[in-house]
């Protein structure tokens, strides 16, 4: 089934210039990035996006990291997009991510930072994908003429 999901290249991935590599990996498995934008996040959107961990002791470091530079927000479409994007990314913990996955190839291997500095985020379900698309692309609701970015 054709699906729509959300992915975000995090500040470390942007700093490493990984956007073209991520696009290529998605395209190679038949996924299409239909919308993209570079943005600088703020505390409000981070607290909303990470509400499920905002009370955890590691959240201040995660917040500092996510505020450290721009991110690239993406809407990705294709067959079984949620699962396929997650497979391409690899596990959250980069030390568990296999070579050939985005996190396995580019994420931090440091014990202290391997769960935070993991290069990329992807929605974990169709329900969360729609929530995250609406959170990071609110203009889609208002402006149906938003340019499609990459085909």
- Helix H or strand E segment including 6: strand 2-9
Q: State the Cα–Cα distance between residues 84 and 129, nearest whole angstrom.
A: 13
Contact 82, 75 (CB under 8 A): no
What distances in angstroms separate CA 7 from CA 110, 112, 134, one per listed residue?
23, 24, 12
Instruction: Write down the catalytic residue from 35, 49, 52, 121.
Output: 121
Instruction: From 81, 99, 78, 80, select the one nearest 90 (Cα to Cα).
Output: 99
Helix (H, G, I), strand (E, B) or coil at 79: strand
Question: Catalytic residue at 35?
Answer: no
CA 93 – CA 114 distance, rounded (Å): 5
Residues 80 and 2 sit within 8 Å (Cβ to Cβ): no
Find, among 6, 135, 18, 13, the residue nearest to 70 by Cα: 13
Residues taking part in catalysis? 121
């Amino acid at each position: 089934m054709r699906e729509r999901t959300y992915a975000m290249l995090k500040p470390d991935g942007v700093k490493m210039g990984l956007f073209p590599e991520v696009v290529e990996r998605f395209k190679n498995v038949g996924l299409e990035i239909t919308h993209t934008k570079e943005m600088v996040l703020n505390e409000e959107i981070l607290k909303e996006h990470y509400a499920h961990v905002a009370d955890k002791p590691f959240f201040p470091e995660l917040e500092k990291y996510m505020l450290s530079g721009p991110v690239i927000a993406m809407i990705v479409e294709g067959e079984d997009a949620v699962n396929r994007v997650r497979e391409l990314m690899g596990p959250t913990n980069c030390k568990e991510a296999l070579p050939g996955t985005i996190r396995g190839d580019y994420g931090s291997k440091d014990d202290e930072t391997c769960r935070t500095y993991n290069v990329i985020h992807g929605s974990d379900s169709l329900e969360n994908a729609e929530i995250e698309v609406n959170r990071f692309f609110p203009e889609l609701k208002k402006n149906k003429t938003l340019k499609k970015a990459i085909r």
